[in-house]
Structure 1
Amino acid sequence: MSIPVSEAGAVLTIDLGALARNWQALAALGPGAECGAVVKADAYGLGIEQAGPALAKAGCRTFFVAHLSEARRLRAAVPSATIYVLNGLFGEALETYAALDIRPVLGSREDVERFAAFCETIGRRLPAAVHVDTGMNRLGLDLAEAALLAEPGTAALAFEPALLMSHFACADEPGHPLTTRQIDRFAQMRGLFPGVPGSLANSAGCTLASARHDLLRPGVALYGARFVAGREPLEPVVRLEAPIVQVRGVRAGDTVGYGAAWTAPRPSRIAVLSVGYADGYLRQAGSTDRKTGAPVRVNGVICPLAGRVSMDLIAVDVTNAGAVEAGGMATLIGDGIGLDDVAEAAGTIGYEILTSLGRRYHRRYVD
């Protein structure tokens, strides 16, 4: 449940219309393929119960989550969806896959054997995806294991291979040689499973014609973060604004915040916001005398952070922003400040900023 705006330190606005349009833009890249959506990590932190129906309304039919608990929530929100669990089989919960019509992504020989044995026990040939490793070396069957699974008459085919998939390691870096090798290896592995649909394209892979196959599988691109180096992201989906709780003057040479890491170079005005690393605004985004931190927009002016991000508060140097008073609003994400701008200041990627945005915000969903 969203915190009332009067009790929250900041307001996070989530534009479900932009989310849907981003999905449509990615789907248009592969007119001969179906376009699914990755909504793991609670739809990258934005709410699976809200994002799932918005994407389904736009035309999405196939979804990917990481955990079985996420699949259960998504099934309740989008009853007709095809749902795959990327992280495979979970504990003793095999019956849940059958009961809720949820498809595991089988990424090891042990997963394959356990799921096949379960299907034999219940007398039903349930669908599942087979994950093959093409160079990520994380999850997936190697070529020899995939070839063994594909042999006619193997007992493992007590389940239905509904999808053959793999995952890119470097597709967000244009021209990386591993991407070409992965495309070639996946084509080789697809030859072992004639008639089984294939899925290789993550967000970055959607831009590569040779990677699209039958099902696109975009994730972070849907949510407005950069997904290919040097390429602008799609529409922004999130906006983070915080009221100014205090404005104070500091003298030249005064320090601000923990560790006295930032020193005022002149008489300055400092605005304090009730947002911190407990809200997912990462500590590494702060400013020091040697490093400029994340940007914040106040009165239409880009202002730098003043000092470290603390657990619940940040300070912003608003000296150049004109008349600033307590109760005014500051924009931390939005108005030209992208997820990736904050990520760069924090030494990370847009994925981490997006999935870290905390639960102490008032959440507004707009379309």
Structure 2
Amino acid sequence: MQNQTMVYNKLQNKKSELPFSVKVSPQETGAMIVDLAAVQKNYQTFEKHIAPTTIAPVVKANAYGLGMIPVCEALANVGAKEFFVATIDEGIALKKAMPGVVVYVLYGIFADTIDVFFEHQLVPVLNTVEQIERWNKFAGEKQVKLPAVIHFDTGMSRTGLTAKEVEWLMGNQHILSSLDLHYVMSHLACSEVPDHPMNTKQKDTFQRFAEAFPGVKRSLAASTLMKTDSSANHDMARLGYGLYGFCYDTPAIQLTNCLHVYSRIVQLRDSVPGDTVGYGANYVVEKAGRLATLSIGYADGYHRFLHNYKTYVYIGPYKAYLAGRISMDFCVVDVSHVPEDYLYEGAWVEMIGEHIRVADLVTGTDFVPHEVPISLGNRYIRHYLPG
């Protein structure tokens, strides 16, 4: 018993280190490591696969939770010159950090944001006839050609000109007289299912619309379609979650995981048959073992639904399954089989990384892979491995 106590005390005083050359402060209870070289490699993999099509990285939502500015700087170093964001504020932040790049704003232009677009040299994605008229009129008043992208809605009923609006625009192209159209674009509803008939329908509709604007470059493909259908690549493809390695590989596209997320062991406890774990007491321990409470919960983007899908983590080389419901700040895993050398307060635990890709985490669920990193909160400090 005395020897066991000595081992226990020794482990409790052990300092844990991440398997990366990043400086982590002692008080950090969660760490997120972004491998910028992996992001660059994925960009170059897609670039080689779809050449000569231009790639425009999609960096909305803080580059899918990874950190927009560090990611964009790394991508610019390997040739990226055009980027897509969702909001004006995202666009302003990117232009301030990297004034030489072209930034397209998907939300389009409102009556009270015209001056903001002009001041910060942002390029609006124009989604309605009213937006086109508004931007064209402003350009005429300034006596300059202003850049723009026109978005056709070919089947999502989300954003973009409706078929009726496109037909009208075909016959009224004088309202484009002061615009420098960089691209016409659309977005597919079912690209994750390559043989879905909606893909063919939308591609045909886009082709018909685009032909009415000769000489204007085209953009249709996003991450999934870039891997499976070269006919949709056109002049420019918008690379989103594939850039970060969040989607599954194909024989032609082998992606590199760029995201590593670690929590820490907050507490260890022995368990006996009949013990219950977590809210609802719906997890009942069947045999004696050990449990570890980890410093991650749904406040950190580790969604509550995960406990329903045999989700696991890695402690060293050992897989450990969730036990009970995920709460706001904690989750619990069964570590009965994990050697004592790996079990001590403060030990780092892999949630996403070498053994667990983001796509693996959501397999069998109704969630898409990039929901997880986008949801990771500010309690998880972003650290970067250089590109």
* Interval containing the TM-score (normalised by the shorter chain): over 0.9
Identify the residue that residue 219 of structure 1 maps to in structure 2: 240
Other structure's SS at 2:326 match = coil
Partner of 1:302: 319
CA shift in 2, pair 1:297/1:326, >3 Å: same
Aligned match of 1:94: 114
Residues 1:10 and 2:33 are matched in the alignment: no
What residue in structure 2 maps to residue 327 of structure 1? Answer: 346
Structure 2 residue aligned with 1:263: 284
1:197-241 deviations in Å (ceiling 9; x for gaps):
000010012121110000011101011111689998721111011
Give the match for residue 237 of structure 1: 258
- 1:140 to 2:160 alignment: yes
TM-score, length basis structure 1: 0.93
Q: Which amino acid aligns with 1:216?
A: A
Larger Rg: 1 or 2? 2
Distance 1:129 1:29 in 2: 25
Deviates more, 1:157-166 or 1:195-204: 157-166
Cα separation, 1, equivalents of 2:101 and 2:158: 27
Call closer, same or farther: CA 1:321–1:121 in 2, change over 3 Å.
Answer: same
Cα-to-partner distance string for 1:110-162 (whole Å, 9 max, x where unaligned): 21122122222222220100000111121111334223323366234332222
5 Å matches for 1:102-181?
102-151=122-171, 154-181=174-201
SS in 2 for 1:226: coil
The count of corresponding residues between Structure 1 and Structure 2 is: 362
Deviation at 1:12, TM superposition (A): 0.6
Shift of 1:255: 0.4
Compute the RMSD of aligned alpha carbons: 2.1
Distance change >3 Å, CA 267–CA 281, structure 1 → 2:
same
Tell me: CA distance 1:154–1:148, structure 2 relative to 1, closer, same or farther (3 Å): farther
Partners of 1:232 and 1:348 in 2: CA distance = 22
C-alpha distance after superposition, 1:67-120 (max 9, x if no partner): 010001111222211110011114512112112221000011221122122222
Q: What are the superposed Cα offsets for residues 260-317 of structure 1, whole Å, 9 maximum, x if unpaired?
A: 121112112001111111111111112xxxx444210113111101111111111110
State the 1:182 CA deviation. 1.2
* CA distance in structure 2 between the partners assigned to 1:292 and 1:85 by the alignment: 37
Amino acid at match of 1:33: T
Confirm or deny that 1:365 pairs with 2:384: yes
3-state DSSP of counterpart to 1:52: helix
CA distance in 2, matches of 1:353, 1:51: 18
Matching residue of 1:313: 330
Contact 2:83 2:103 in 1 (8 A): yes
**Greater CA deviation, 213-222 or 328-337?**
328-337
- Stretches of 4+ aligned residues off by more than 6 angstroms: 228-233
Structure 2 gaps of 5+ residues are: 1-21
Contact preservation (8 Å) 1:225, 1:350: yes
Return the alpha-carbon distance in structure 2 between the equivalents of residues 346 and 284 of structure 1.
Answer: 8
Match of 1:182 in 2: 202
2:6 corresponds in structure 1 to: none
Shift in alpha-carbon separation, 1:33–1:231, aligned structure 2, 3 A: closer
Residues 220 and 227 of structure 1 are in contact (CA less than 8 Å); yes or no, is this contact kept in structure 2? no
The answer as to 2:106 corresponding to 1:61 is no
Q: Which residue of 2 aligns with 1:199?
A: 219
Q: Secondary structure at the match of 1:5?
A: coil
Residue type of the alignment partner of 2:320: C
Identical counterparts, % of pairs:
35
